[in-house]
Amino acid sequence: MTDAIASPHILTSSGSDAGSSTRTVLHVGCGAAHPDKVPAAFFPAGEWREVRLDIDPDVVPDIQASITEMPMVADASVDAVWSAHNLEHLEPHEVSVALAEFHRVVRPGGFALVTVPDLQQVAALVAEDRLEDAAYVSAMGPIAPLDMLYGLRSALAAGNRFMAHRTGYTATTLEAAFTRAGFAPVRVVRDGHFALWATAVRPA
């Protein structure tokens, strides 16, 4: 990952809009802007303000930075961190650094919501010799076990090296990573699309 790049959009120690009850979710690794990328079940419209952070300048984030280094986001300045399919793009030794940053920027009593591929489910398909068979269809097209293991092949072929996968998780290892970072409680569940969802609270 590259170093963070300063942005005019800086989050200060106040995680909510002044004079309102609106809470702030820092959407890390946000990609291109789209309202459907913020899950309404956790972040209802009108109650949450999205601040977008990404390492890729082409997606025009509010803050351009790596999720392993977010110095322009103040300590305890956001109510939640939302990360969809980002941790698997890190080198294994960078995961603890990123989760320490999540813990730093979220306020006590706030939470991180993270989803990543579930390698136990993926491995079951590989064991059935279905490495390149479509496991499900996403907005970006069919997704095979090979894509979940190493990164979406179509994006990599188009030159998007940010999409390469460098590590992976089971429910047990994902929960352990958040626990080591100081979150508690941590809850990890599976969905129907070969993904794990972790909800991790920063203790008050």
- 13-46 pLDDT, tens digit each: 554 544 558 999 999 999 999 999 999 999 999 9
Per-residue model confidence (pLDDT) at position 144: 96
Domains annotated for the chain, with CATH where assigned, are: 23-118+164-201 (3.40.50.150)
- 93-129 pLDDT, tens digit each: 999 999 999 999 999 999 999 999 999 999 999 999 9
- 72-99 pLDDT, tens digit each: 999 999 999 999 999 999 999 999 999 9
pTM beyond cutoff 0.85: yes
- 149-182 pLDDT, tens digit each: 999 999 999 998 888 999 999 999 999 999 999 9
Tell me the DSSP string of the chain.
Answer: -PPP---S--B-S--S-TTS--EEEEEET--S--GGGS-TTTS-BTTEEEEEEES-GGG--SEE-BTTB-TTB-TT-EEEEEEES-GGGS-GGGHHHHHHHHHHHEEEEEEEEEEEEBHHHHHHHHHTT-TTS-SEEETTEEE-HHHHHH--HHHHHTT-GGG-----B-HHHHHHHHHHTT--SEEEEE-TTSEEEEEEEPP-
